[in-house]
Amino acid sequence: MLVDVDVTDRVAVARLANTRRRNALSTPLINELHRLADRNDISAFVLTGNGPFFCAGADVTELATNKQSTDEAPPPVTLFRRITEDSRPWLAALNGPALGGGCELALACDFILTTPDAYLRLPEATLGVIPRTAIKLLAGTVHRHLALSLLLGKTTVTSDLALASGIAAEAHPQDSIVGETTAFARRLLATTSPTAFRVIKESVARDDTLSWRDADELAGRVDRVELHDAVASLQRREAIDYSERWQ
C-alpha cells in the first residue's frame, strides 16, 4: 500500500507512504487516492506524508517514459481536479516539503495547514513543463508577482509566506500537525452546513479567471524536445542550461 488510511468518525487521515521515493505521485499511488475518494463513508479528508516529505511531486521515472499527448490531462491533474470538485472538505497537513505536483496536490485541497519548516515549490518550468493545475488554482488567488515567481520556480513559499499570502490557514509544530489538521476538519464538519460548504466551494472555484480547458491548452504548448532533454539531465543529476534556447 502506498497510502496509509485511518478513518475515525468519518474523517480520513491519508498518509502518502511511498517514502523510498519521497512520496512521489506515481500512477499506483494516485489510483489509491482515487479509490479513497470513491468511498462514501468519509465526510472529510486529511492528506499528509510519511517521512520528511509531504510529496516530492511527479514520479520522474514515469515522466521520462510518458507517451501522452501534451494536451491530455495526465493522471495527477485528473486527481487534482477531482479534489477541487469534490463536495467534501480536503485538507493538506504539510509535514514537510511539497514540490511540483506535491505543491499542486496541496493547492488543490480546500485548506492547508503547515509546519514551520515545510515549504512549497514549483520547479516544473526548469523542466519545460507547464504546471497547469497551479496556474488554474493560483489565478486570482495571490498577487500576480508572487504567482509568476512561484510558477517559474523562483520563489519558495515558506510557512511564513504561506500564512501571510493566505495560502495556508494555520501553522503547527511537526508533532501536532496531523492532529491539529484533523481537529480543524472536525470543527469544520461540526460548524458548517454541508449544503453551504458545497455551494460556496463550487462558487469559489467558478470565480477563478482561468478554466480547466484553458489550463489544458496552456499545458499543450510544452516543447517535447525541451522536456525530453530536461528529464534526461535530471536523471543524470546534471543541471540543464536553457540559455541558447532563448535565442
Longest dimension (CA), the chain: 59
Specify if 239 maps to a domain. no
Residue 240 near residue 229 (C-beta atoms within 8 A) = yes
Mean pLDDT over 138-149 rounds to: 87
Neighbours of 45 (CB within 10 A): 25
Find, among 105, 77, 80, 13, the residue nearest to 50 by Cα.
Answer: 13
Q: Within its chain, how far is the Cα of 230 from the centroid?
A: 22
Residue of 32, 62, 85, 124 marked catalytic: 124
Number of domains in the chain: 1
Q: Domain range holding 56?
A: 3-174+185-191
Kindly name the residue from 62, 72, 85, 104 that is annotated as catalytic. 104
CA-closest candidate to residue 226, choices 79, 93, 70: 70
Supply the pTM of this predicted model: 0.84
Please tell me whether residue 164 adopts helix, strand or coil conformation: helix
User: Whose CA is closest to 47, among 86, 91, 88?
Assistant: 91
226 is catalytic: no
- Residue 85 bears catalytic tag: no
Asked if residue 227 is part of any domain, the answer here is no
CA distance linking residue 159 with residue 56, whole number of Å: 17
* DSSP reduced 3-state for 5: strand
Per-residue pLDDT reduced to its tens digit, 75-128 = 899 999 999 999 999 999 999 999 999 999 999 999 999 999 999 999 988 888
Q: Is 237 left (phi over 0), alpha (psi -120 to 50) or beta?
A: left
Say if residue 74's pLDDT is above 80: no
CATH number at residue 19: 3.90.226.10
Does residue 48 lie within any of the structural domains? yes
Is residue 228 in some structural domain?
Answer: no
